[in-house]
């Protein structure tokens, strides 16, 4: 054969699909034969094949402590995701991975954790949030700030409701535009950060969301006095191989797929071609 083993996907059947928002779904992929099923780390990603269209990278959206499935939450955006959104339970996709580094959950032990997610940026953070909830004694205060465009654009609505009820974390939500159903905050997610008081040196902050949000969130984090190395995000780039070969995801001398995707702000500043 000609296919190097690096590029051969496992086949994984879609066991269940959950509608998150009008354009976003969570896929529960049966992965009985995938030996890393519960052995990946929060922050890692997979290359998912929609055969006949292609392959694209998606973060693993659930904590490895939680699910017997591989969970990916995917917004309908490009060719692969548009086709995937026509799939039903029983259809089969390809999976390669897990790839990339992970959130520094070890270094975060004993610290307060602050999560700021925007829209479809919550899924990668959710893998770590649930990991922390399953190792709750290892961490101090856990605060999650989540912003979405509208109430309908919130992902994981059932889980958000659970988090609101839970005493294990503090969840504050906001939407850019409210509606009749929405009694919560209205405004961009950075407004929730303004005026916060945090124990900056004892806090690690994790953020993921659209580029414009990240820019303002980073600025707010720095204004709160967080050391750059305590500010963590996950970079996204177009990528094909996931294994440091195809060249698409290079930033500076880093291959985001193997050296990342998780970086702290100190590392990002030192990338010669800062994203």
Partner 1 sequence: MRPMTIPKPDLPAFLAVLTGSYLVLAPRRVGESDVVFSELDDDTPVELDFVNTVAPPKTLFFPSRETLFHIEGARRPSLHLPGSSVATGLEASASESPVSTGLEASASESPVSTGLEASASESPVSTGLESSASESSVSTGLQASAPADKPLAIFGMRSCDATGMAFLERFFAGRGFEDDTILARIRAALTMTLACHAPGPDCFCVCCEGGPWLTSAFDIQFSDLGDRLLADVRTAKGEAAVGAASTLFSPAASEDLDAWSRQVAKVDVAFERRSYIAGGTKRISLGQIPQAKWEEWAEDCQDCGGCCFVCPTCSCFTVTDRQTGDDSFDRERVWDACLYEGFTREASGHNPRAAKAERLKRRFFHKMSYQYIDVMGRHGCVGCGRCVATCMGGLDISTLLTRIHDECH
Which residues contribute to the site for partner 1 (CB under 8 A)? Answer: 1-11, 32-33, 35, 50-56, 77-81, 87, 91-92, 94, 211, 236-238, 240-241, 243-248, 250-253, 255, 258-259, 272-273, 275
- Cα–Cα dist 269/119, whole Å: 25
Residues 6+ away with beta carbon under 8 Å from 98: 36, 40, 41, 44, 45, 46, 60
Burial class from Cβ neighbours inside 10 Å (0-12, 13-18, 19+) for residue 54 reads: middle
Measured from the CB atom, is 225 or 247 closer to partner 1?
247
- Which uninterrupted H or E stretch holds 115? strand 112-118
Closest CB 268 distance from partner 1, rounded Å: 13
Measured from the CB atom, is 3 or 183 closer to partner 1?
3
Measured from the CB atom, is 9 or 187 closer to partner 1?
9
What is the SS3 assignment for 62?
A: coil
Instruction: Count the helix, strand and coil residues of the chain and give each as a percent rounded to the nearest 5.
Output: 25, 30, 45
Measured from the CB atom, is 143 or 207 closer to partner 1?
207
- Say if residue 261 is preceded by a cis peptide, omega within 30 of 0: yes
Measured from the CB atom, is 137 or 274 closer to partner 1?
274
Measured from the CB atom, is 91 or 141 closer to partner 1?
91
Closest CB 219 distance from partner 1, rounded Å: 20
From the CB of residue 46, how many other CB atoms can be counted at a distance below 10 Å? 30
Measured from the CB atom, is 91 or 138 closer to partner 1?
91
Q: What does the DSSP assignment read for 207-275?
A: EES-HHHHHHHHHHHHHTT--GGGEEEE-----SSSSS-S-TTEETTEEHHHH-SEEEHHHHHHSTT--
- Cα–Cα dist 268/275, whole Å: 8
Closest CB 50 distance from partner 1, rounded Å: 8
């Amino acid at each position: 054969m000609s296919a190097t083993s690096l590029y051969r996907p496992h086949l994984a059947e879609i066991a269940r699909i959950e509608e998150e928002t009008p354009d976003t779904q969570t896929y529960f992929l049966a992965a009985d034969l995938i030996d890393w099923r519960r052995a990946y780390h929060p922050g890692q990603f997979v290359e998912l094949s929609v055969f006949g269209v292609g392959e694209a990278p998606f973060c693993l959206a659930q904590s490895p402590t939680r699910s017997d499935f591989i969970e990916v939450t995917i917004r309908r955006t490009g060719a692969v995701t548009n086709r995937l959104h026509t799939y039903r339970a029983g259809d089969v996709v390809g999976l390669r991975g897990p790839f990339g580094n992970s959130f520094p959950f070890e270094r975060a032990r004993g610290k307060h954790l602050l999560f700021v997610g925007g829209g479809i940026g919550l899924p990668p953070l959710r893998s770590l949030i649930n990991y922390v909830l399953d190792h709750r004694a290892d961490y101090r205060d856990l605060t999650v700030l989540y912003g979405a465009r509208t109430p309908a654009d919130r992902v994981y609505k059932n889980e958000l409701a659970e988090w609101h009820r839970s005493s294990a974390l503090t969840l504050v939500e906001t939407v850019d535009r409210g509606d009749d159903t929405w009694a919560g905050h209205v405004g961009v997610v950075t407004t929730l950060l303004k005026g916060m008081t945090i124990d900056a040196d004892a806090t690690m902050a994790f953020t993921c969301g659209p580029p414009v949000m990240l820019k303002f969130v980073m600025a707010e984090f720095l204004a709160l006095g967080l050391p750059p190395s305590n500010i963590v995000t996950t970079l996204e780039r177009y990528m094909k191989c996931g294994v440091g070969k195809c060249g698409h995801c290079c930033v500076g001398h880093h291959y985001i797929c193997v050296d990342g995707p998780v970086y702290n702000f100190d590392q990002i500043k030192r990338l010669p071609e800062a994203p």
